[in-house]
Amino acid sequence: MNPPRASWLRPRWLLNQRAAKALLWTVVLVAAAVGANIVGIYLVGSVAGWERWLAATASYFLVWRLCLYGATAYGWVWMRRRLLAREAQRGADKQARRRLVRSEIAGVAAIVALEASLLMQAA
């Protein structure tokens, strides 16, 4: 008789290729952010100088983020139209619409939380 297999000891999401790719991208992005800070500190000469430079250029970064949010919204609207058209052909447009609305709410909440935390740091 075979012993019972403890499937909960081997979570499938760890072996999932999509999860591995997402984890790899996360590590790459964090490494790029750390690298950018290290290079910035090296170029400016000190951590205090780097912090002053970041504070002085905060408005430029705000403009950059707004442009990024606008480009993301444009791409989202384009993708949303295509997805809803495809799901309407399959007859599953109500479920797709609900999933999209949940994603949109989560995305807007994340952006609001990010910008609110940046405003609270600046104050």
Decide if 17 is inside a domain. no
Spatial CB neighbours of 44, under 8 Å, sequence gap ≥ 6: 50, 53
Q: Is residue 13 part of a domain?
A: no
> Does any domain span residue 8?
no
CA of residue 79 relative to chain centroid, distance: 17
Contact between 24 and 16 under an 8 Å Cβ cutoff? The reply is no
Does 14 map to a domain? Answer: no
Domain around 35: 24-122
DSSP state of 4: P
In a domain, 1, yes or no: no
> Which band of pLDDT confidence, cut at 50, 70 and 90, is reported for residue 64?
very high
Domain count, the chain: 1
* For the chain, counts of helices (H) and of strands (E): 5, 0
Q: Is residue 113 part of a domain?
A: yes
pLDDT, residue 38, reads 95
Q: How confident is the model at residue 119 (pLDDT cuts 50, 70, 90)?
A: confident
Confidence (pTM) = 0.67
Q: What is the pLDDT of residues 70-93, one digit of tens each?
A: 999 999 999 999 988 888 888 777
Domain membership of residue 110 (yes or no) is yes
Residue 15 lies in a domain: no
